[in-house]
């Protein structure tokens, strides 16, 4: 395959531009830079079928301001 692993983001700001994002490295937490801060997502045990395959779901948990 050769492409980076990806995940589906669930929750968080409605205007978040991407809901399928690369996860490097895959793990427990993901931070997405957005509007001068970071949206924090945690991995769930769920997966979702997407046009890019069956991907792990990361659930929004909080916003982190710099």
The domains of the chain are located at 1-30+38-45
pLDDT in the model for residue 49 = 97
Helices within the chain (DSSP H only): none
Residues 14/34, Cβ–Cβ less than 8 Å: no
For 14, the 3-state DSSP assignment is: coil
What DSSP state is assigned to residue 37? E
- Chain-wide mean pLDDT for the chain? 92
Per-residue pLDDT tens over the stretch 29-39: 999 999 999 99
pLDDT in the model for residue 64 = 94
Cα(24)–Cα(22) distance, integer angstroms: 6
Query: Taking residues 50-60, what's their average pLDDT?
Result: 96
Cα of 54 vs its chain's centroid, Å: 14
């Amino acid at each position: 395959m050769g492409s980076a692993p990806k995940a589906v983001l669930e929750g968080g700001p409605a205007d978040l531009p991407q809901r399928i994002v690369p996860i490097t490295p895959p793990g427990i937490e993901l931070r997405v830079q957005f509007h001068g801060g970071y949206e924090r997502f945690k991995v769930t045990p769920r997966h979702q079928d997407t046009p890019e395959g069956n991907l792990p779901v990361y659930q929004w948990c909080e916003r982190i301001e710099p």
